[in-house]
Amino acid sequence: MLDHTGAMGGAELALIRLLDHLDPAITTHTVLFSEGPFAERLEESGHSVEVLPLNPRLAGAGRVEAGATPLTAARNALRVLPYAVRLGLRLRRLAPDLIHSTSLKADLIAIPAALIARRPLVWHIHDRISPDYLPGPMVRLMRTLARWAPTRVIVNSAGTAATLPKVPRIAVAYPGYSADQLGPSPLERRAPATPVVGILGRVSPTKGQIEFVRAAALVRRDHPDTRFRIIGAPLFGEDTYEQQVRAEVAALGLEDAVEFTGFVADPSDELDQLTVCVHASGQPEPFGQVIVEAMARGIPVVATHGGGVTEIVRPAPDSEPLGWLVPPGDPSALADAVAEALEHPEVAARRALAAWLSVQERFPISRTAAVVSEVWRSAARAPRH
CATH code of the domain covering residue 102 = 3.40.50.2000
Q: Which residues pair with 203 in a beta bridge?
A: none
Give the list of residues 6+ apart from residue 175 with CB closer than 8 angstroms, or none. Answer: 10, 14, 17, 126, 156, 287, 289, 292, 363, 368
Phi, psi of 324 (to 5 degrees): -115, 135
The pLDDT of 17-31, averaged and rounded, is 96
Q: What is the pLDDT of residues 40-89, one digit of tens each?
A: 999 999 999 999 999 877 766 655 555 556 666 667 778 899 999 999 99
Q: Compute the distance between CA of residue 342 and CA of residue 148 in angstroms, rounded to an integer.
A: 50
Quick one: 143 and 281 in the same domain? Answer: no
Taking every pair of C-alpha atoms in the chain, what is the biggest distance, in angstroms?
64
Give the list of residues 6+ apart from residue 30 with CB closer than 8 angstroms, or none. Answer: 1, 2, 3, 15, 19, 42, 47, 48, 49, 50
Give the list of residues 6+ apart from residue 33 with CB closer than 8 angstroms, or none. Answer: 2, 3, 4, 5, 6, 51, 52, 53, 54, 59, 83, 105, 106, 109
Q: Compute the distance between CA of residue 44 and CA of residue 39 in angstroms, rounded to an integer.
A: 9
Quick one: 114 and 259 in the same domain? Answer: no
The pLDDT of 360-368, averaged and rounded, is 96
Is residue 198 within 8 A of residue 179, CB to CB? The reply is no
Q: What is the pLDDT of residues 206-252, one digit of tens each?
A: 999 999 999 999 999 999 999 999 999 997 778 899 999 999 999 99
| Cα 289 to the center of its chain, rounded Å | 6
Single-letter code of the amino acid located at 317: P
Quick one: 216 and 154 in the same domain? Answer: no
Is residue 41 within 8 A of residue 72, CB to CB? The reply is no
Quick one: 139 and 191 in the same domain? Answer: no
Quick one: 153 and 60 in the same domain? Answer: yes
Neighbours of 341 (CB within 10 A): 25
Q: What is the pLDDT of residues 85-116, one digit of tens each?
A: 999 999 999 999 999 999 999 999 999 999 99
Quick one: 189 and 270 in the same domain? Answer: yes
Of 61-65, 77-81, 146-150, 156-160, the poorest mean pLDDT is in 61-65
% the chain with pLDDT above 90: 81
Give the pLDDT confidence score for residue 385 in this predicted structure: 47
% the chain with pLDDT above 70: 95
CA-CA-CA-CA dihedral for 55, 71, 126, 83, to nearest 10:
-30
Q: Compute the distance between CA of residue 27 and CA of residue 130 in angstroms, rounded to an integer.
A: 34
Is residue 57 within 8 A of residue 88, CB to CB? The reply is no
SS3 330: coil
Q: Compute the distance between CA of residue 209 and CA of residue 279 in angstroms, rounded to an integer.
A: 9
Give the list of residues 6+ apart from residue 350 with CB closer than 8 angstroms, or none. Answer: none
Give the pLDDT confidence score for residue 60 in this predicted structure: 63
Phi, psi of 124 (to 5 degrees): -115, 105
Q: Compute the distance between CA of residue 132 and CA of residue 123 in angstroms, rounded to an integer.
A: 21
Q: What is the full DSSP assignment across 211-237?
A: HHHHHHHHHHHH-TT-EEEEEB---TT
Q: Compute the distance between CA of residue 334 and CA of residue 218 in angstroms, rounded to an integer.
A: 9
What is the reported pTM? 0.90
Is residue 287 within 8 A of residue 127, CB to CB? The reply is no
Quick one: 242 and 230 in the same domain? Answer: yes
Q: Which residues pair with 123 in a beta bridge?
A: 101, 153
Quick one: 164 and 242 in the same domain? Answer: no
Single-letter code of the amino acid located at 78: L
Q: How many domains, in total, are found in the chain?
A: 2
Quick one: 230 and 329 in the same domain? Answer: yes
Return the sign of the alpha-carbon dihedral for residues 200, 203, 204, 209. Answer: positive
Burial 244-273 (b: 16+ CB within 10 A, else e): bbbebbeebebeebbeeeeeeeebeebbee
Quick one: 171 and 268 in the same domain? Answer: no
Quick one: 141 and 254 in the same domain? Answer: no
Instruction: Find the domain containing 158 and state its range.
Output: 2-176+365-381
Give the total residue count for the chain: 385
Give the list of residues 6+ apart from residue 161 with CB closer than 8 angstroms, or none. Answer: 155, 170, 172
Strand 170-172: give its sheet, edge to edge: 48-51, 29-32, 2-3, 99-101, 121-125, 152-155, 170-172
Q: Compute the distance between CA of residue 256 and CA of residue 331 in angstroms, rounded to an integer.
A: 20
Quick one: 292 and 153 in the same domain? Answer: no
Mean pLDDT, the chain, rounded, equals 92
